[in-house]
C-alpha cells in the first residue's frame, strides 16, 4: 500500500428526514445570503423545493435562486452562477440535485472568489483555488458521489472539452434516500452504474497487489450489483435504494482510494465523448467499459481474474488467469445488457459521423491506468462501440 494521510471534510447526514433534522443547525453557521441552486425544476414537482425553502426562510435566510443547471453543466453556466454569487454577496451555496448541480456549484464557489478565469487559472497557470464560498449539498439524484469530493466535470463548449476542474469541498451533504424515489428508473440505473464504474476505476489503479482498500472496494461492487437488481425487481424497495445512495458516496469519499493511484481512463474517454455528443454519462460508461477492458486485458489480467471470483462469483476451478479475466469482462457485459443499459453507441443515438478521432486525441491519458493507451488505440475502442 502506498503511503497516505487521510482526513475528510464532508459531513454526511444520511437517512429519513435528514434535511428536516439537521439543515437548520448547519445553516446557523453561515451568513444571511444563500444561493439556492437546482436544475430543471423537478424539485418543485416532488415537494423538495418547498421543504427546503421553508427551512431556509425559518432560518432567516435571504434566497437568491440559481436555476436551470443542465446535465453536463457548461462553463457558461458556471460563470452565470459566479456572477450571481458576486452580485448578491452570497455567503453560502445550497446545491440541490444530482452530480450536475453539485459539480457546477463547486466551481461557482471557487470562481466567485477568483478574479481571473478559473479555466485558465487551472489549465494554463496550473493553479489550485484556495478560497471558496462555503457550500452544502442536498442529494436528490445519486450515482456520481459528487457531494463527496472537490472535483467537477465541466463542459467548455468553446474549447470542445469536457474536463475536470477543482473547486470546493462541501461542508456537509444531506443524503435522504426518500428524495431519490421519484427519479426515473433509467436515471436510477445509469447513476448506479456510474457508482460501479467509479469503484472499478479505483480498483484498477496501482499498486496492483490487493490491499484493504481493494477488499472494501470488492464489497462495494458486490453491493451495487445486488441492489441494482433488487431495485429493478421492486422500484419501491427503500432498503435497496438506501444501499445504492450510500454506495455512490462510498465510491467517492476517499475510502476506496486510500493507498491507491486510480485509473479512470474510461471516465476520461467518456467525458470527451460527452463533450462531442452531450450523451448520458452512465450510458456512455456502460458502452465503453467492456470494449476498453478487452484492450486492457493482457496487462490487467490478474485484477480482472480476481474481480471475476470476488465480485462476480465465478468458479475458478480449472480456469486459468486469462480465462477468469475473460469471464469477468463477459459477466460485466452481460450485466449491462441485463439491467437495460445500452451496449452500443447506436443504441444511444450516436452516429457513425461522430468525430471519434478528435475525441480520442483530446482525451486525457490517465497515469494510473495499467495500460498506457495511445490516442490511436482509444479511437479503435470508440469505433468498436458502434
Residues 155 and 234 in one domain: no
Which is it for strands 135-139 and 151-156: parallel, antiparallel or unpaired? Answer: unpaired
pLDDT interval class at 187 (50, 70, 90): very high
What is the pLDDT at residue 65? 98
Per DSSP, helices labelled H in the chain are 18-27, 42-45, 48-58, 75-87, 99-111, 118-123, 185-203, 212-233, 238-252, 265-277, 281-310, 321-338, 356-361, 375-384
Q: Among 147, 180, 213, which residue terminates a domain? A: 180
Q: How far apart are CA 224 and CA 364, in angstroms?
A: 27
> Residue 11 in 3-state DSSP?
strand
Residues 227 and 142 in one domain: no
- Decide which of 266 and 41 is more confident: 266
Q: How many CA atoms lie within 13 A of 64 on its CB side?
A: 18
Q: Which of 2-11, 203-212, 216-225, 339-348 has the lowest mean pLDDT?
A: 2-11
Cis peptide preceding 238, ω within 30 of 0: no
Domain count, the chain: 2
Residues 24 and 63 in one domain: yes
Cell numbers placing 210: 490487493
What is the domain-level CATH number for residue 141?
A: 3.40.50.1970
Looking at the domain assignment, is residue 244 inside a domain? yes
pLDDT interval class at 7 (50, 70, 90): confident
pLDDT interval class at 114 (50, 70, 90): very high
Q: Among 180, 208, 238, which residue terminates a domain? A: 180
Q: How many CB atoms lie within 10 A of CB 27?
A: 19
What is the domain-level CATH number for residue 193?
A: 1.20.1090.10
Q: How many CA atoms lie within 13 A of 55 on its CB side?
A: 21
Q: Among 118, 150, 180, which residue terminates a domain? A: 180
pLDDT interval class at 207 (50, 70, 90): confident
pLDDT > 90? residue 209: no
What is the pLDDT at residue 190? 98
Residues 256 and 122 in one domain: no
pLDDT > 80? residue 26: yes
Residue in this structure with the C-alpha cell 437495460, named with its chain if needed: 340
What is the pLDDT at residue 318? 97
Query: Which residue from 38, 45, 32 is spatially nearest to 66, judged by alpha carbons?
Result: 38
Residues 148 and 207 in one domain: no
Looking at the domain assignment, is residue 5 inside a domain? no
- Decide which of 210 and 222 is more confident: 222
Query: Which residue from 37, 16, 38, 12 is spatially nearest to 26, judged by alpha carbons?
Result: 12
What range does the domain containing 320 cover? 189-384
Q: How do residues 262-273 score in pLDDT, each as one tens digit?
A: 999 999 999 999
Q: How do residues 329-385 score in pLDDT, each as one tens digit?
A: 999 999 999 999 999 999 999 999 999 999 999 999 999 999 999 999 999 999 999
Determine the average pLDDT of the residues in 76-96: 98
Q: What is the mean pLDDT of the chain?
A: 97
pLDDT > 90? residue 226: yes
- Residue 21 has φ and ψ, to the nearest 5°, of -80, -25
* CB neighbour list of residue 227: distance below 8 Å, 6 or more residues apart: 192, 240, 241, 243, 244, 247
Give the containing element (helix H, strand E) for 2: none
pLDDT > 90? residue 208: no
Is there a contact between 149 and 165 (Cβ–Cβ < 8 Å)? no
3-state helix, strand, coil in the chain (%, to 5): 55, 10, 35
Determine the average pLDDT of the residues in 297-322: 98
pTM: 0.96
Looking at the domain assignment, is residue 349 inside a domain? yes
pLDDT > 80? residue 4: no
- Residue 256 has φ and ψ, to the nearest 5°, of -70, -15
Looking at the domain assignment, is residue 98 inside a domain? yes
Q: How far apart are CA 78 and CA 100, in angstroms?
A: 11
Looking at the domain assignment, is residue 3 inside a domain? no
* CB neighbour list of residue 174: distance below 8 Å, 6 or more residues apart: 13, 18, 19, 22, 23, 136, 137, 138, 139
Residues 144 and 257 in one domain: no
Determine the average pLDDT of the residues in 127-137: 98
pLDDT > 90? residue 17: yes
Amino acid at each position: 500500500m502506498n503511503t497516505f494521510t487521510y482526513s475528510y471534510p464532508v459531513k454526511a447526514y444520511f437517512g429519513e428526514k435528514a434535511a428536516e433534522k439537521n439543515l437548520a443547525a448547519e445553516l446557523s453557521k453561515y451568513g444571511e445570503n444563500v444561493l439556492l441552486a437546482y436544475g430543471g425544476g423537478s424539485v418543485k414537482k416532488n415537494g423538495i423545493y418547498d421543504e427546503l425553502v421553508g427551512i431556509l426562510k425559518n432560518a432567516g435566510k435571504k434566497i437568491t435562486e440559481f436555476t436551470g443547471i443542465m446535465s453536463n453543466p457548461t462553463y457558461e453556466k458556471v460563470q452565470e452562477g459566479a456572477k450571481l454569487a458576486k452580485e448578491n454577496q452570497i455567503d453560502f451555496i445550497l446545491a440541490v440535485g444530482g452530480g450536475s448541480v453539485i459539480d457546477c456549484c463547486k466551481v461557482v464557489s471557487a470562481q466567485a472568489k477568483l478574479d481571473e478565469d478559473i479555466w485558465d487559472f487551472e489549465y494554463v497557470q496550473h493553479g489550485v483555488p484556495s478560497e471558496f464560498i462555503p457550500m452544502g449539498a442536498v442529494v436528490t439524484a445519486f450515482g456520481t458521489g459528487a457531494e463527496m469530493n472537490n472535483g467537477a466535470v465541466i463542459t467548455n463548449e468553446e474549447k470542445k472539452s469536457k474536463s475536470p476542474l477543482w473547486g470546493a469541498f462541501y461542508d456537509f451533504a444531506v443524503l435522504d434516500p426518500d428524495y431519490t424515489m421519484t427519479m426515473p428508473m433509467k436515471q436510477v440505473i445509469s447513476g448506479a452504474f456510474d457508482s460501479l464504474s467509479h469503484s472499478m476505476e479505483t480498483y484498477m489503479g496501482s499498486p496492483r497487489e490487493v490491499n484493504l482498500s481493494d477488499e472494501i472496494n470488492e464489497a462495494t461492487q458486490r453491493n451495487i450489483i445486488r441492489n441494482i437488481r433488487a431495485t429493478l425487481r421492486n422500484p419501491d424497495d427503500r432498503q435497496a435504494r438506501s444501499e445504492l445512495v450510500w454506495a455512490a458516496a462510498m465510491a467517492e469519499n476517499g475510502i476506496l482510494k486510500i493507498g491507491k493511484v486510480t485509473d479512470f481512463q474510461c471516465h476520461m474517454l467518456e467525458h470527451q465523448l460527452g463533450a462531442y455528443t452531450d450523451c448520458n454519462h452512465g450510458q456512455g460508461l456502460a458502452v465503453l467499459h467492456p470494449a476498453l477492458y478487452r484492450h486492457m486485458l493482457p496487462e490487467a489480467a490478474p485484477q480482472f481474474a480476481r474481480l471475476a471470483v470476488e465480485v462476480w462469483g465465478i468458479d475458478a476451478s480449472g480456469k486459468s488467469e486469462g480465462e477468469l479475466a475473460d469471464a469477468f469482462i463477459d459477466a460485466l457485459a452481460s450485466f449491462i445488457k441485463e439491467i437495460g443499459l445500452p451496449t452500443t453507441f447506436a443504441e444511444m443515438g450516436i452516429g457513425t459521423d461522430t468525430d471519434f478521432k478528435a475525441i480520442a486525441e483530446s482525451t486525457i491519458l490517465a497515469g494510473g491506468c495499467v495500460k498506457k493507451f495511445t490516442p490511436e488505440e482509444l479511437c479503435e475502442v470508440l469505433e468498436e462501440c458502434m
